Structure 1
Amino acid sequence: MQIDLTGRTALVTGGGTGIGAGIARALAAAGADVAVHYAHNDEGARAVARDVEAAGRRAVVVGGDLTDPAQADATVTAAVDALGSLDILVNNAGHLVGRATVGEMTDEHWAQVMAVNVSSSFYVCRAATKHLEASEHGRVILMSSLAAENGGGAGSVAYAAAKSAIVGFGRGLAKELAGSGVTVNSLAPGFIGDTPFHDTFTPTAAQQSIVGTIPLQRAGTVEDVAGTAVFLASDLASFVTGQVVDINGGAMFR
């Protein structure tokens, strides 16, 4: 059975690099037109958009700071204006920001982690809701993390709390939008290798150590996450909502 998203439109936040870029490319490969959002990486987003177009799909690049409600609104509006509708929203944008223990963490650090992970998702979903409800195939895919279950690595308490909040937000939103046929699910990746996230925040030796604890004995790939996102965006997952899908190679079982 082949997934066909032809004629559907998607907005992928944080789509210029890493997991977001992989999801944008995978949605396009399945037939969707894609708005690729970026906050800072304009060049990366444009490269992803070129890949979407190379797959024969329409692409638009939209920039904005999603922690600003006005810019989040403008991002959704720009995507809908360019693509004509919105069927699939992938709220991938997020960040660890930096590692800090609770004892040393500043108010500003805590607020920034919550803003970039939780508030941004809320602002974008709020702006997108009316468009998704107008779709016959409305899908919201949020980005949580294994950290929401195991507390994350050293110095990532704020990040773990933010990703836990995403799970609760997603379940509540799933109930709110169910009457309109819109599904809402969260992805919870574990260790995904070759991404800016771990290249920035996890030393090479620590990455190798983590892989050694994974039952499948390998790091996850961007494609592992993207494939799950495409499934959730498709008709095959039309009866799946309010769920958290773990993508961690067996590192944690619910």
Structure 2
Amino acid sequence: MTRTVLVTGGTSGIGRAIAQRFAADQAEVFITGRNPNTVEQTAKEIKAHGVVCDATSTEQVGALAARLDAVDVLVNAAGGLPEPASGDLSTLEGQLAQWQSSLAQNLLTAVLTTVAVQDKLTSSSCVISIGSIGAERRGGSYGAAKAALAAWNASLSAELAPKGVTCNVISAGFVADTNFFGGQLPEERHRALVEETHNKRPGAVDDIARTACFLASPGARHITGQTIHVNGGAFTTR
């Protein structure tokens, strides 16, 4: 049976790689993004359905959910650094704007989308949210939002797992070839991030995509409420 997969933030980077892998596996994939041209072009290239949707908008997320009959795999990949990143952080207003932006993009997008499609999840569905190593250290408002994402995932799993739905976070380390740093990552910082890893290489979007596909596979049905760290050893757990 063909699975229905919804990937928010699926037009670039990690989200696109995940959507592309599921599409190659013959799933019916829906991707979302805020830019109509990017959504249309990406959907055409990876053979998916494109939906223009700002996942911080309750109205747009509700309209997205209304288009779907069932969701077998939900991937909350929408997120990013706070906007405006260059705000005046010396003021209370600037701090508030940055924190509100971080929480909206990296936590509320996942919460709103998941709640909107919750009644469309099946007894074998999975919810996968994309976290970050920034939740563990030096993450500022972005890292705090990703840490909140993991905490929310644990409570979501407790709620949905009895119904057969698994809920996990993939916490990504440094991943090259994304728009995350907007092309502004200095070479020295790049080298430092790679040096932190045990395997001395940057992550690739396909590292995260393959992990997502595993979490959506029959072999991962007893994995839920977890944060899976995919970072080459830059952050380790025990």
Asked whether the two chains share a fold, i.e. TM above 0.5, the reply is yes
TM norm structure 2: 0.91
> Which deviates the most, 62-71 or 179-188?
62-71
Residue equivalent to 2:227: 244
| 2:76 corresponds to 1:91 | yes
1:1-254 equivalence runs, <5 A: 7-40=2-35, 42-53=36-47, 59-78=48-67, 80=68, 84-97=69-82, 98=85, 105-132=94-121, 135-152=122-139, 157-200=140-183, 202-254=185-237
Asked if structure 2 preserves the Cα contact closer than 8 Å seen for 1:64 and 1:72, the reply is yes
Residue segments in structure 1 that go unaligned for 5+ positions in a row: 1-5, 54-58
Structure 1 pair 159–99 and aligned structure 2 pair: CA distance change class (3 A): farther
TM norm structure 1: 0.86
- Describe the superposition over 1:124-163 as per-residue Cα deviations: whole angstroms up to 9, x where unpaired: 011011001xx242110011110111233xxxx1001000
Structure 1 pair 101–176 and aligned structure 2 pair: CA distance change class (3 A): farther
> Which deviates the most, 90-99 or 221-230?
90-99
Residue 100 of structure 1, CA deviation: 7.4
- Tell me how far apart the structure 2 counterparts of residues 137 and 47 of structure 1 sit (CA, whole Å): 31
- Tell me how far apart the structure 2 counterparts of residues 101 and 205 of structure 1 sit (CA, whole Å): 26
- Describe the superposition over 1:209-245 as per-residue Cα deviations: whole angstroms up to 9, x where unpaired: 2112211111000000000000111111111100101
Write the letter of the residue equivalent to 2:133: L
Asked if structure 2 preserves the Cα contact closer than 8 Å seen for 1:17 and 1:45, the reply is no
Residue 95 of structure 1, CA deviation: 1.0
Write the letter of the residue equivalent to 2:76: N
Structure 1 pair 102–108 and aligned structure 2 pair: CA distance change class (3 A): closer
Structure 1 pair 26–99 and aligned structure 2 pair: CA distance change class (3 A): farther
- Tell me how far apart the structure 2 counterparts of residues 217 and 199 of structure 1 sit (CA, whole Å): 23
- Tell me how far apart the structure 1 counterparts of residues 184 and 5 of structure 2 sit (CA, whole Å): 29
Write the letter of the residue equivalent to 2:21: A
Write the letter of the residue equivalent to 1:230: C
- Tell me how far apart the structure 1 counterparts of residues 231 and 78 of structure 2 sit (CA, whole Å): 19
Residue 115 of structure 1, CA deviation: 0.9
Residue segments in structure 2 that go unaligned for 5+ positions in a row: none
The structure where strand makes up a greater share of residues is: 2
Instruction: Report how many residues are paired.
Output: 233
Structure 1 pair 100–158 and aligned structure 2 pair: CA distance change class (3 A): farther
